Structure 1
Amino acid sequence: MRGLNIAVAGCGPCGLAVALLLDRSGHQVTLFERFETPKPLGSGLMLQPTGMAVLGKLGLLDAALARGARVDRLFGKAGKRVVLDVQYAALGRPGTFGIGIHRASLFAILHEAVLRSGIPIHSGRALAGSVLVGEKRALCFADGQTSVPFDLVVDALGTRTPLAPPTGRALRYGALWASLDWPSGATFDPHSLAQRYARASKMAGVLPIGVPPGATTPKAAFFWSLRVDRLEAWRAAGLATWKAEVTALWPECATLLDQITDPHQLTFARYAHRTLASPAEPALAHIGDAWHSASPQLGQGANMALLDAWALAQGLSQAGDIDEGVRQGIRLRRRHVLTYQWLTALFTPVYQSDSRLLPLVRDRVVGPLAKLWPVTAIQASMVSGLVGNPLKSLGLCDDDLNAIVPLAGAP
């Protein structure tokens, strides 16, 4: 199908990507955004080979590589024990790696492409819901107004979308995030995501994220795991108390913490685990976090959203009617989505919980086993998003990954 009149709700990476893909498929696309000026939220994320394959199809992978930082390894220690050591080389696919990137960089890459495409963006339009008008669907805005009916509405509004019924559960642990200057002369590996743990109740991480918009030097995303109900106590205790706690766990972080002089430099992110039972409704498709969201333990959020966007565009191009096209897009993604929802639910308590037993098993049993084949390959497959070979069913074959090699530059 071509020539549909489609509304995309949400100007995050998911909404921007699906707008570009649908526009390039010959549809008339309009974006709606609640902010007066579309903007990114959050700090750093990891682009995996799955998401990179979609960006490659959009012609935007070069820009992501230029603005982000190549990541070859995920490395974590609990005390002196190495309990996480995942290397992309274990996949046996030359040129496979991740990209640490600031959310503002990914947003800018996609937003600039949308502007070049001439896709209209209606900003300052907070949504309250949607309503069927015959076989079409109109958007209902928070100010009481209603849009013209569209052939299809794509919900890319995220976990708290007003276009879907509430579902799932809020997670007990969130994280404090800050974007900081990469410390010169530090011991951090500029091509690794590094983490330190104390049981599962404390976790610190440092991710290289390249040079975001407005910056002139490389940055690091620093994060600290924190239980949601302890946020107010953290604020009351003050920065000095918190910094002492962090440096006791990971002394090398002192050079990063010196850059934090105000609590407002840290953003607290809350997470939820949810999977919408019916992501396909008449003239309505829920994708990305609006369909499924989870803890960031496996770092798949943005990558899953990019795959959802690609699948929906593919489904609409292959089907004879709109609703069948949406259902086809969901079918293309359902198995992979459910696999990662299950994996994330399984592994999150190992790294973020009050359990004493799970981190003990992690440190004493899983950690040593993770150094052995085939566990090394299994872990790399999970982290990269390639469990179940999702690219093949979406027509994103391995050639898209191999194309990364000449773009990667020197390690």
Structure 2
Amino acid sequence: MNRQSLGLRLMGLAASMVVFSLVFAGFILHALFVSNLERSVQGDLEAALTRIVALIDPAAAQPSIRLPLPDPRYDTPLGGRYWQIEDTDSGAIARSRSLFDQELGGEPVSETGTFHFSNDSNLHLIMIRRPIEVGNRHFEVTVGENHEPIHEAGMRFAWDIARLFSLLGLVILGIAWVQLRLGLRPLDRLRSSVDEVRRGDVDALTGAFPSEIQPLVDEVNALLAERQSLAERGRRRAADLAHGLKTPLAALHGVAMRLRDRGDEDDAVVLDDLAQEMSSRVDYQMRLAALRSRSREHRESSSLNTAVLRTMTVLRKTGRGEMLHWKAELGEEVNVDIHRQDLLELIGVTLENGAKWARTTVAVQSSKQDGMALITVGDDGPGIEPEHMQKLGSRGLRHDESVPGTGLGLAIAKEILELNRGTIGYAVAPLGGLLVEIRLPLALS
């Protein structure tokens, strides 16, 4: 898929949305997990703080508790659980053995609050502080717990979420790709149907399409029908013009005959030439009107050898063809990218040109060369000077006015090749006459 691909855009959008959604969800889940852990720790700390408050000895000179707490972490240096009692009247402080020589600092509070505390000793705590009054004395009781286990649990949970969401993302993207291919399948069918129209297999798009695409199909079919109607109308107008000119041309021939009967040979020849020229021009335009317009995406497939053999069979039955020896040296069967009718017209005008100039023999060869189909038509006629070869194929140009013809055969061949991305060249034939070399692109397999 290229940058302009609809599938690539949709897949990129789906991938972006999936990644963003999963990353966002991962952060939210991690935050909720850590928040729940902290709330659980806060519940334990509140229970411990309430027990410490109940154990404070109001009669002692220094802040103290009457009984040790059952959790051994309070008595282990840096054990993970800590308590501190501060006499706000005297500033005296009592703390658990787990605090060792450290002190839980912070601003005084007027009500119970939850805080995060850290110091230079890499001690990071989550703690609860509550002001209390026992008798006439005022205390500030603080209970804390290491936050590191919560952080480590959060990191482990984050990695688990990352692995799970990575697998989930791959599954979602795989499903999205399948959904995308299924969703774009009607467009593939539409493309295939358009290709069938271009090949000339059908005249309109056929098949069942989703309701979202059907209006486009209807519009394309209407456009195809309109184009076909215009083409047919143009052909009919050309045919009407050709038929309409037949009578005036016949009249010109009649006038020429009467002039010839009166002895005015010069004027009769002029009229005959004019009538012949007009007739050949009409025939030329009619044959061009029958050619099929092509685009680079329009693909065809026609058998080259079949067209050559069929045309030779027909020409051999003509008066001129019966007097000639026809040689066909055809290579392997090859299909070319040109409509069958246009190929027959191309081979026909080329072989007719060879038959017109040949004395005894017309030789035809076909092969593959440089990824193209090559067909050569040579004759043993008088040939043509090399400096004049570049002018061959020009409309209406006749090399020898003494030979009957219009000079339009090779011009028609050139027009056909231009429509079908082919080329034509000229050289001296091994038989001594003119060698016409035609190259056509091979049909896609």
Using structure 1 for the length normalisation, give the TM-score.
0.19
Comparing both structures, which one devotes a greater share of its residues to strand? 1
Q: Which has the higher contact order (CA 8 A, sep 6+)?
A: 1
Decide which structure has the larger Cα Rg and report it.
Answer: 2
Using structure 2 for the length normalisation, give the TM-score.
0.18
